[in-house]
Chains A and B, each alone.
Chain A
Amino acid sequence: MSAELAYAGAAELARRVRAREVSAVELTDAFLARIDAHDGALGAYLAVDHEGARNRALIVDAMIAAGQDPGPLAGVPVGVKDVIVTEGLVTTAASRILDGWVPPYDATAVARLRAAGAIVLGKLNCDEFAMGSSNERSGYRPCQNPWDLGRVPGGSSGGSAAAVAAGLAAATLGTDTGGSIRQPAAFCGVVGLKPTYGRVSRWGAIAFASSLDQIGPLAGSVEDCALLLEVIAGADPRDATSIDQPAPSLRPALTAGVAGLKVGLPREYFEGALDPEVAAAVRAAGDALVTAGAELREVTLPHTRFALPAYYVVAPAEAASNLARYDGVRFGHRGGGRELAEMYATTRAEGFGPEVKRRIMIGTYALRAGHYEAYYRKAQQVRALIKRDFDQAFEEVDVLLTPTTPTAAFARGEKAAPLDMYLADVFTLACNLAGIPGLAVPVGATASGLPIGAQLLGRALDEVTLVRAGAELERAFGTRRPPAYEGAA
């Protein structure tokens, strides 16, 4: 297949399928062929559903032949991060503890994708239980960065970002708990949208930190992210934390321009350990917005330095709790032991990888009687302060522009110490703590050719403004593709 099709994007592919310019089966086969050709070295997928995808595509084609509209994602081949459950398709959260688990139900987001005509190609690699920033913590195999196989694709949704960048899916779903959509999107040069907390149902999203987790799209363009979010968003009776609002209409904002838009540059995000090339690229992004009619001003988010510590209490605490269900009783891996307590301890010791264990340990510590007040409760109070910072900033400006990551993609094995790895998320965490939406958009590259991503942060439920500003940056900086995947499969 021509790389042209692989990179045409979800909206365009759906248009062609609906216009019968290409069939869903042809598209699906083409993407499956590309996966078969490239993914061995890349490692974006943990499971590829050749048969299921083709069957689904046949149905879409049959609907079109019958004059029915399969939906806005008609025949669009997508990939789904492996922490999102898919009925009948093995789902492991990239953890050995869920080895071979076949869920009996679909996540709401997946069900909505399918209902819109999308074809699920397979399950995408990630850090185990979404805990990581490099995809090196996958329980199965690492995923590489399509721009440089010696570098990480970011994480935790590394496979979701790499698959889009390498043209192995037209668009993908990821999850974002502390930057897990935006950081890999930035590392791989694609667009990633973390919606407002509660915008997308978490039903079927394997929980990492329930108060922070959010499913969102990664794609080659702002338009495709907007399209996917329109499909998957909206209240769900099965998720008590989903917001009681219909899915937003986002695509009209693509062409709205940024004239009169007030864009804030938070001072704290340009201090400290920020790579000069990244800083320059983000400042250039600001300039581009000004050129297009936006107004730029510096704002302050004074509690920013507390975001990382607050996150590293809240997220592990919730994770320790959420991961208590992996006990070898009802599903997944079971370790040895003639006696129950022993079985539990071996199951969990064998099934969880080191990073997951580390977080379970931190979280268990933080929730212990006598620690709760000083850790979890304190961190939740700090969260309120961080949210207040954003509220105040959004009284002055409509959207914030920041770097997504302190550096471009780092090399494999570079961040060995846990805390160094955690610092890779320093610019993305606060967004999750505050529950606001964030969009990562490519804004050029380093001298060595690695993508750089800018981050746009908006008011709660104001994804529209992110799409507006994101589309403007896209117009200014264009899209780039990793050269290794430009050829035919």
Chain B
Amino acid sequence: MSDLATLLESWEPVIGLEVHVQLACESKAFSPSATSFGAPPNSLTDPTVLGLPGALPTFNAHALELALRLGVATGAKIRARCRFARKHYFYPDLPKGYQISQYDEPLCEEGGIELWLGGVRKKVRLQRIHLEEDAGKNLHHGTASLVDLNRAGVPLCEVVTLPDLHSAEEAAEYMRALHRLVRWLGVGEGDMEKGQLRCDANVSVRRRGEDRLGVRTELKNINSFRFVHRAIEHEIARQVRILEDGGQVERETRLWDADAGVSQPMRSKEEIADYRYFPDPDLPPLAVDGPTMRKVITTMPELPVPRLERFMREYGLPFDDAALLTDDRERADYLDEAVRAAGDGALARPIASFMLTELLRVLDGQPIAKAPVAPAALAELIALVAGEVISGKIAKDVFAKMCASGEGAQHIVDRDDLRQISDEATLRGLCEELLAAHPRQVEQYRAGKDSLLGFFVGQLMKATGGKANPALSTKLLEQLLAAT
């Protein structure tokens, strides 16, 4: 694709994403059957989900609250009264022949999602966030299709960006940021493999410096993070190639085929798409009342990007560490809680690096909620290191014991006599014994083989069971070796 990289010096991709976010509700958007994943086909239906004659929709209060969280977190304008509209098309997975969605009066408009891209902070502006219901699933089966309506009616919100993204990398990073935000807020699980986060991309390219947008294609069926990048990059390359060859991009909807790694045009519908939107007469306008708004605002957590920046500013963390520790909210909470327990901001950085190395290693991909050591206990351990009570190396052993037994760091150190030897006279005596025991190495060192210092430190550690204060030991050994 280096060939593409060269071409992109003269062509600018313009990308907007429409992402469907499944809201973390127990029951469906417009009826009370369950939303569980993996249930037997058609076992999660009711008259409303099936679109039976006479059935009516009623709206799930929690879906509203979750969508509002996302709206408030993105700084969107929240409509005091929004409206549901019917969007009509015929498809077997759409039981009523229309989807209840929102059209010209969506819940949220404007706002944006912030993300860091190559060391630069960027805000991807949103056009809207609206509420809607999911469709069911068609399984193709030879000359027939089978329809499972379990997913029909599952509450979604659709997050639509302005065409603010300019590369496949940016689009992928936006998806990660949105995914993080959705989970951060408890709005949804965001599992792309389960279809809880689904992405459609509008892609066009134009000559750099050109104001007008090029002809765009809509790319559907991008259902994993990996494919966001691949599918969009593929589409950019496809369009650039067409334009370079003097051709024209056709305005069409294309389906990403992950297996083949290419997109295919969807069969041009044999008719003009006309969704015939109109306000759903079964659902009066949805009013967002004061108490609901207040609840959403007052329970709004510090968001990922501000928190990342605070970690850099207050805790002095490097960007990469701050990013890793704000990848999910529980991690960030863990750090904050540990620092609070330590009562010393200066410990933030060693706590953070211990988390990123030791704790994450122990967790082995599990969420931080599974951490075997509570934040305050970790803070106690790191305080012992900072206070030179134990060495960093001993700290790892102590941590292992904490994980195994749940005992506190101080307790383990005391019981197992793991305190660091920092008394100069004691250490000096030990060092002298060591040098006396290794006359050949002393001679070699003095002959200029400086690297043997490590050998002596190692031997000292071995002799003290790792308890010798490493800095002091090094200093003393240097002094003694330099003497004579």
Interface residues of A (CB under 8 A from B): 84-85, 91, 93, 98, 101, 103-105, 107, 202-207, 209-211, 237-241, 317-318, 320-321, 323-325, 327, 329-331, 338, 340-341, 344, 364, 367-369, 372, 376
Contact = CB atoms under 8 A, between A and B. Distances in A.
A321 B88 contact: yes
Contacts of A321: 86, 88, 97-98, 276, 278
A46 to B, nearest CB: 15
Interface stretch (B54-62, B210-218, B220-228): B54-62
Nearest to B149: A330
A337 to B, nearest CB: 12
A205 B53 CA distance: 8
A321 B281 CA distance: 10
A327 B90 contact: yes
Contacts of B58: 237-240
Closest 8 CB pairs of A and B: A324-B97, A211-B281, A210-B281, A367-B276, A204-B54, A206-B53, A325-B51, A85-B54
A385 B39 CA distance: 50
Nearest to B53: A206
A327 B98 CA distance: 12
A84 B54 CA distance: 7
B388 to A, nearest CB: 66
B445 interface: no
Interface centre among B50, B53, B88, B147, by most chain A C-beta atoms within 10 angstroms, is B53
B47 A327 contact: no
A324 B54 contact: no
Interface in B135-174: 143, 145, 147
Contacts of B265: none
B244 interface: no
Contacts of A103: 52-54
Given A98-B53, A324-B90, A331-B50, 8 more contacts: A91-B53, A317-B278, A324-B88, A324-B96, A341-B270, A344-B90, A367-B277, A369-B276
B283 interface: yes
Contacts of A206: 53-54
Contacts of A202: 54, 56
B278 A330 contact: no
Contact of A325 (B57, B95, B277): B95
Contacts of A93: 53
Contacts of A237: 58
Contacts of B275: 369
Contacts of A85: 52-54
A329 B94 CA distance: 10
B282 A240 contact: yes
A93 B52 CA distance: 13
B282 A241 contact: yes
A101 B282 CA distance: 23
A323 B276 CA distance: 14
Contacts of A318: 281
In terms of DSSP, what is the predominant structure of the interface of chain A?
loop
Nearest to A106: B54
Interface string B34-70: 0000000000000100111111111100000000000
A338 B143 contact: yes
A340 B92 contact: yes
B284 interface: yes
Contact of B96 (A98, A325, A372): A325
B417 interface: no
Contact of B276 (A327, A344, A364): A364
A364 B56 CA distance: 21
Interface string B260-285: 00000000001000111110011110
A241 B274 CA distance: 27
Interface in B81-123: 86, 88, 90, 92, 95-98
Given A206-B53, A327-B90, A338-B143, A369 B274 contact: yes
Contacts of B282: 207, 210, 240-241
B53 A325 contact: yes
Contacts of A330: 50-52, 95
A84 B95 CA distance: 20
B50, B143, B276 pick with most chain A CB within 10 angstroms = B276
A174 to B, nearest CB: 15
A240 B56 contact: yes
B47 A207 contact: no
Nearest to B286: A240
A206 B50 CA distance: 14
A150 B96 CA distance: 39
A107 B54 contact: yes
Contact of B54 (A207, A329, A344): A207
A372 B277 contact: yes
A338 B96 CA distance: 22
Contact of A104 (B47, B88, B147, B270): B47
A126 to B, nearest CB: 14
A324 B275 CA distance: 12
Contacts of A207: 53-54, 282
Given A84-B54, A203-B56, A206-B54, A372 B97 contact: no
B161 to A, nearest CB: 24
Contacts of B98: 321, 324
Contacts of B92: 327, 329, 340
Given A324-B90, A324-B97, A367 B52 contact: no
A272 B98 CA distance: 41
B339 to A, nearest CB: 48
A165 B226 CA distance: 71
B288 to A, nearest CB: 16
B55 A203 contact: yes
A238 B30 CA distance: 10
A84 B53 CA distance: 9
A477 to B, nearest CB: 36
Contacts of A320: 276
A250 to B, nearest CB: 25
B28 to A, nearest CB: 14
A149 to B, nearest CB: 31
B284 A372 contact: no
Nearest to A209: B281
13 contacts: A103-B54, A105-B52, A105-B55, A203-B54, A239-B58, A240-B284, A241-B56, A241-B284, A320-B276, A324-B88, A324-B97, A330-B95, A368-B274
A367 B278 contact: yes
Nearest to A95: B53
- With most chain B CB atoms within 10 A of its CB, the pick from A320, A324, A340, A364 is A324
Contacts of B276: 320-321, 364, 367-369, 372
Contact of B283 (A240, A338, A340): A240
Interface in B338-384: none
Contact of B278 (A101, A241, A372): A372
Q: Identify the interface centre among B47, B54, B86, B147: most chain A CB within 10 Å of its CB.
A: B54
A395 B145 CA distance: 60
Contacts of B147: 329
Interface in B319-352: none
A327 B278 CA distance: 20
A105 B46 CA distance: 10
A364 B275 CA distance: 10
A238 B58 CA distance: 6
A85 B283 CA distance: 21
Nearest to A237: B58
A240 B47 contact: no
Nearest to B84: A240
A322 to B, nearest CB: 8
B270 to A, nearest CB: 7
B179 to A, nearest CB: 33
Contacts of B274: 368-369
A104 B274 CA distance: 33
A93 B53 CA distance: 9
B60 to A, nearest CB: 12
B303 to A, nearest CB: 34
A205 B50 CA distance: 16
B172 to A, nearest CB: 34
